[in-house]
Chain A
Amino acid sequence: MVCIRKATVDDLLAMQTCNLFCLPENYQMKYYLYHILSWPQLLYVAEDYNGKIVGYVLAKMEEETTECHGHITSLAVLRTHRKLGLATKLMTAAQHAMEQLLSYSDLAISLRPPFVLVIVKVYGAEYVSLHVRKSNRAAFNLYTETLGYKIHDVEAKYYADGEDAYDMRKQLKGRKHHHHHHHHHHHHGGGCCSAETKADEKPGSTEAKTE
């Protein structure tokens, strides 16, 4: 059927085309390069049996002054390839990779000139955020019902055509100082990937992150 795999640099042109075909929010190639060269683990594509890219997710880690969290920059699946759960699978793959990154990374590097190195302290909360059009029922349902996102805020006139956006958030699997492990059973395939993430937990690192 459709293959879900990590994106490579060679996929970027096809991802851009898919984005331009499906969504009015578009980006120049440089932005795609920025994503893959910063967080290569977070970009996934859906590739059909003919080798065509029919969906993608573009994600990043957001480096703000008070916290570090994941953010979904863009997600699209061709209309012809809906009802296959591709959006869910892409999101799940990206979220899983984010969880891994959030377990270890406190550092944020600002890349704005004059290339000043900014070290940012991170506190507790690990979550992933995204924006969705208020009127986009289908996407909204996907995020809330299937993937477990909640509305965090409304950003008025977020989109270029003036439409409002819901700023949505989903808590990710807790860090080491969360003492109970919830297994997020992702909706792909039959296997449970939590067996894998369990092994990632370092036994000795349960102390909370210090300043």
Chain B
Amino acid sequence: MVQLRCIRIEALREEKMTWIGLAQMRDLAGFVETRQQLLTLKPNHRMNWIGFAVAQHLNSNGSKAVDILEAYEGTLEDDYPPDNERCEHGEMLLYKISLLEECGMVERALEELRKKEPKIVDKLAYKEQEVSLLEKLGRFDEGEELYKKLLSMNPDNYRYYEGLQRCMGLYSASGQYSPDEIDRLEALYASLSKQYSRSSAVKRIPLDFLSAEKFRLAAESYIRPFLTKGVPSLFSDLSPLYDHSGKADVLEQLVLELEHSIKTTGGYTGRVDKEPPSTLMWTLFYLAQHYDRRGQYDVALRKIDEAIEHTPTVIDLYSVKSRILKHAGDPVAAAALADEARCMDLADRYVNSECVKRMLQADQVALAEKTAVLFTKDGEQHNNLHDMQCMWYELASGESYLRQGDLGRALKKFLAVEKHYADITEDQFDFHSYCLRKMTLRTYVEMLKFQDRLHSYPYFRKAAAGAINCYLKLYDSPSKSSAEEDEEMSKLPPSQKKKLRQKQRKAEARAKKEAEVKEEANATAVSRSGKRPIKPVDLDPHGEKLLQVEDPLAEATKYLKLLQKHSSDSLETHLLSFEVNMRKQKILLALQAVKHMVRLDADNPDTHRCLIKFFHKVGSMLAPVTDAEKLIWGVLEAERPTFTQLQGKSLIEANALFLEKHRDSLTHRAAVAEMISVVEPSKKKEAINLIEESSNDLVSSNGALGLPVKKWRLKDCIAVHKLLGTILDDREAALRWKVRCAEYFPFSAYFEGSCSSAVTNSSYHQMHKLHENGSPNESSLPLSSNGNIEKLEALKDLVIQ
């Protein structure tokens, strides 16, 4: 049991209290005890009362905490607080009231809130607290009034609108409303719109609940002013609507009409005034993003190119084009374009970051790094990104290295992200006594909850998953540095071996000396300038030491545990758990993973794979000998029937059944095919046929523009290609698949589609270059200022027709 340490209480003065022991603060009972002792010893110090109350609260004793705070209040004078403590006192009161709310004493909370109103400084917090209590008490009329008041203070907070709707009985979390409700909502927002004409929330929210003709009218009147003004985020704002059935089609029609109208009459339909030229550009900009979203990349590119031709100086256009190319499967071309955008505003970090992001997606790590450090502090530029906890960058780098198989560097990046999370966890310790003094107790408690959930945040999850994947790969194919090198060495004649060894030793010694010299230089710098030394030299810059870890699976398990604790509702967590535990031969843990996967998503292809692989492995295990093995056997016997997919069937039959259920889905067919190769290895041909016979159906006969939109996603097709090439090991089938997919995904660099940058004299690129230059005989082509090499390569073999 972890002890709470604190400096001897008798000898301590409040200011010198250092809560080192609060590192183990989650020993709540101990914390309570200590705070009680402190209070007994020094009852006239405010902090001790508050500290004791907070301790009780954290120890799930909210009502006791309230009692303590009330007792504390009782010790105060009537005219308390003095002006210079009003803020703190107000915060304490709000904390007490929130405690009452938490304990379910809602009536009392409201009473207390209203009674203490003059003493509460933070008026906004007061109202927000009040409205929450009113709602809980079902006093909806009062709640409605208060939400309206809050809206008058901030008509841009859509949570107030939600609250208002709730109080009027007009809120549905799923967004489904009856026709009658829709009418009432319409009326509500019509009147709100008159009051808050400058707020776009009043106009945007109705687009969610309206449909058909009403939707079209509202959408049109919403969109027009934004196109005229030229708001780049219009599409992003409307994008949730694309998940509402039918609305995407309405929007398409609507905006195409606007485009047509502007092109023919210079203005919107039914309007006399002409639109400024930029309106057309922003309309095309919207359409490009629209078609991108709908998977019609050819049309999207056409639209954005038209926009660029219209006004080549607008950076947003290039950013969107870059995104389209990325979605369409050409990350290299996307990165080149993002770089072009970056060069148009070298002072803007946002475009720089976007460019770096694209470069990392295109696996151009060195270039990305060079570009990123343009905005870091001088000196140890690369370290600065780490010091500033730039996790998006480290994560994207790590993922790129992993894709490229550079496990050492990948691990270094993933572990760097993990370190930030560890540091952030440490940060809280400096604030415990600080918050008690500042009285920002509600936020303090919020922070503690945040800390407890810290590892559920996306960056950590991705970093942990990345690290685990690295360790799995490392386990499956141990690094070259030890095994293969030794093998190569043993083949050499002894004299050469000796020379090689000497060389190696010399190199190591040199590296060590360099590091020492650097350290010394740093140290002298300290003594001279008196400032803190620069960061110690990184002795493992490429993560080689990380690769030489004794037990990669043990390392992986460390991260796995955190994922299991904080992200147990994610299928990926359990998929990783399965992979790790199968390799560790931890049968029961692997079984648990499978069970979780079935619980979360039984029809998922990955779940199916794990289920079959698991029981196939179990089926091939030898009869149990030891007691431990017998125990495991027993558990397995008991557990197998709980899987309905397997009841009374062989694995082969279960596999076939899964296929029947999901005949039309490529990813499911691929999973079935893979499992055929596992349980019936002789039937590999059938497995491959199963995949090749899959048909890529149309999503819908969507408009006359561009290529028809089909079901298959690029990501899934790439996965199938890898499956054919590796596990199913049929080079020719893989090649056939590649050719087929190149048709479906002409922009995909992976499949070397005809329009992708991977195909050097793709007709798309030729046309594009001709377009850019105006004259087909121009021999020098525009390059971005950092001499983008990728573009050069692509143009080397350009044949001008």
Verify that A and B bind, or say they do not: yes
Chain A interface (Cβ < 8 Å from any Cβ of B): 1-6, 8-10, 12-13, 16-17, 20-24, 26-30, 33-34, 36-38, 40-41, 48-50, 54, 78-84, 89, 93, 97, 100-101, 104-107, 109, 111, 114-117, 119, 135, 160-161, 188-193, 195-196, 200, 209
Instruction: Point out the residues of chain B lying under 8 angstroms from A97, CB to CB.
Output: 124
B314: shortest Cβ distance to chain A, in Å?
A: 12
Instruction: Point out the residues of chain A lying under 8 angstroms from B157, CB to CB.
Output: 3-5
A28-B387, A135-B347 given. 18 additional CB < 8 A pairs?
A: A3-B157, A3-B158, A3-B159, A10-B446, A20-B389, A24-B377, A38-B440, A41-B124, A79-B350, A80-B316, A83-B229, A83-B231, A84-B233, A97-B124, A101-B121, A104-B87, A114-B16, A117-B15
Asked if A50 meets B239 with Cβ closer than 8 Å, knowing A4-B157, A80-B316, A114-B16, the reply is yes
What separation, in Å, do the CA atoms of A188 and B157 have in the docked complex? 11
Instruction: Point out the residues of chain B lying under 8 angstroms from A195, CB to CB.
Output: 152
Evaluate contact between B350 and A106: CB separation under 8 angstroms. no
Evaluate contact between B156 and A33: CB separation under 8 angstroms. no
> 26 pairs across A/B with beta carbons < 8 Å?
A10-B450, A20-B388, A20-B389, A22-B353, A23-B349, A24-B376, A26-B388, A30-B430, A37-B435, A37-B440, A49-B240, A50-B239, A79-B350, A80-B233, A80-B316, A83-B230, A84-B200, A84-B233, A100-B123, A104-B86, A106-B84, A188-B198, A190-B198, A192-B152, A193-B153, A196-B152
Instruction: Point out the residues of chain A lying under 8 angstroms from B159, CB to CB.
Output: 3, 5
Nearest 4 Cβ contacts at the A-B interface:
A189-B155, A191-B152, A1-B200, A107-B84
Evaluate contact between B347 and A8: CB separation under 8 angstroms. no
Instruction: Point out the residues of chain A lying under 8 angstroms from B438, CB to CB.
Output: 37-38, 109
What separation, in Å, do the CA atoms of A3 and B201 have in the docked complex? 8
What separation, in Å, do the CA atoms of A100 and B91 have in the docked complex? 14
Kindly state whether residue B750 has any CB partner on chain A within 8 Å.
Answer: no
B673: shortest Cβ distance to chain A, in Å?
A: 36
Asked if A1 meets B204 with Cβ closer than 8 Å, knowing A104-B121, A114-B16, the reply is yes
User: Which one, B153, B204, B240, B389, contacts A191 given CB within 8 A?
Assistant: B153
A174: shortest Cβ distance to chain B, in Å?
A: 16
User: Which one, A28, A30, A40, contacts B440 given CB within 8 A?
Assistant: A40
Kindly state whether residue B457 has any CB partner on chain A within 8 Å.
Answer: yes
CB-based nearest A residue for B445: A9
Instruction: Point out the residues of chain B lying under 8 angstroms from A8, CB to CB.
Output: 446
- Indicate with 1 or 0, residue by residue over B648-662, a CB within 8 angstroms of chain A CB atoms: 000000000000000
Evaluate contact between A27 and B200: CB separation under 8 angstroms. no
Report, as a range, how many residues of chain B touch the other chain: 35 or more
Chain B interface (Cβ < 8 Å from any Cβ of A): 14-17, 83-88, 121-125, 151-159, 195-201, 204, 229-233, 236-237, 239-240, 315-316, 319, 347-351, 353, 375-378, 387-393, 420, 423-424, 427-428, 430-431, 433-435, 437-438, 440, 442-444, 446-447, 449-450, 457, 459
What separation, in Å, do the CA atoms of A30 and B428 have in the docked complex? 8
Instruction: Point out the residues of chain B lying under 8 angstroms from A89, CB to CB.
Output: 156
Asked if A189 meets B154 with Cβ closer than 8 Å, knowing A13-B459, A22-B349, A79-B348, the reply is yes
What separation, in Å, do the CA atoms of A117 and B16 have in the docked complex? 11
Asked if A49 meets B440 with Cβ closer than 8 Å, knowing A10-B450, A105-B84, A114-B16, the reply is no
User: Which one, B153, B392, B442, contacts A21 given CB within 8 A?
Assistant: B392
Evaluate contact between A24 and B198: CB separation under 8 angstroms. no
Evaluate contact between B444 and A37: CB separation under 8 angstroms. yes
What separation, in Å, do the CA atoms of A1 and B440 have in the docked complex? 31
Instruction: Point out the residues of chain A lying under 8 angstroms from B84, CB to CB.
Output: 105-107, 119
User: Which one, A9, A27, A29, contacts B443 given CB within 8 A?
Assistant: A9
Evaluate contact between A30 and B154: CB separation under 8 angstroms. no
Evaluate contact between B443 and A36: CB separation under 8 angstroms. yes
A94: shortest Cβ distance to chain B, in Å?
A: 12
Instruction: Point out the residues of chain B lying under 8 angstroms from A36, CB to CB.
Output: 443, 447
Instruction: Point out the residues of chain B lying under 8 angstroms from A37, CB to CB.
Output: 431, 434-435, 438, 440, 443-444, 447
What separation, in Å, do the CA atoms of A30 and B423 have in the docked complex? 9
A44: shortest Cβ distance to chain B, in Å?
A: 10
A26: shortest Cβ distance to chain B, in Å?
A: 4
User: Which one, A17, A29, A93, contacts B154 given CB within 8 A?
Assistant: A93
Evaluate contact between A41 and B236: CB separation under 8 angstroms. no
What separation, in Å, do the CA atoms of A26 and B375 have in the docked complex? 11
User: Which one, A24, A115, A188, contacts B15 given CB within 8 A?
Assistant: A115
User: Which one, A5, A100, A196, contacts B121 given CB within 8 A?
Assistant: A100
Instruction: Point out the residues of chain B lying under 8 angstroms from A17, CB to CB.
Output: 391-392
What separation, in Å, do the CA atoms of A99 and B506 have in the docked complex? 67
Instruction: Point out the residues of chain A lying under 8 angstroms from B88, CB to CB.
Output: 107
What separation, in Å, do the CA atoms of A33 and B122 have in the docked complex? 20
CB-based nearest A residue for B195: A190
- Tell which of B123, B154, B388, B435 has the most Cβ of chain A within 10 Å: B154
CB-based nearest A residue for B451: A9
What separation, in Å, do the CA atoms of A11 and B197 have in the docked complex? 29
A58: shortest Cβ distance to chain B, in Å?
A: 14
User: Which one, B16, B153, B316, contacts A115 given CB within 8 A?
Assistant: B16
A163: shortest Cβ distance to chain B, in Å?
A: 10
CB-based nearest A residue for B232: A80
Instruction: Point out the residues of chain A lying under 8 angstroms from B431, CB to CB.
Output: 33-34, 37
Evaluate contact between B232 and A83: CB separation under 8 angstroms. yes
CB-based nearest B residue for A13: B457
Evaluate contact between A2 and B156: CB separation under 8 angstroms. yes
- Tell which of A21, A23, A34, A196 has the most Cβ of chain B within 10 Å: A21
What separation, in Å, do the CA atoms of A91 and B390 have in the docked complex? 25
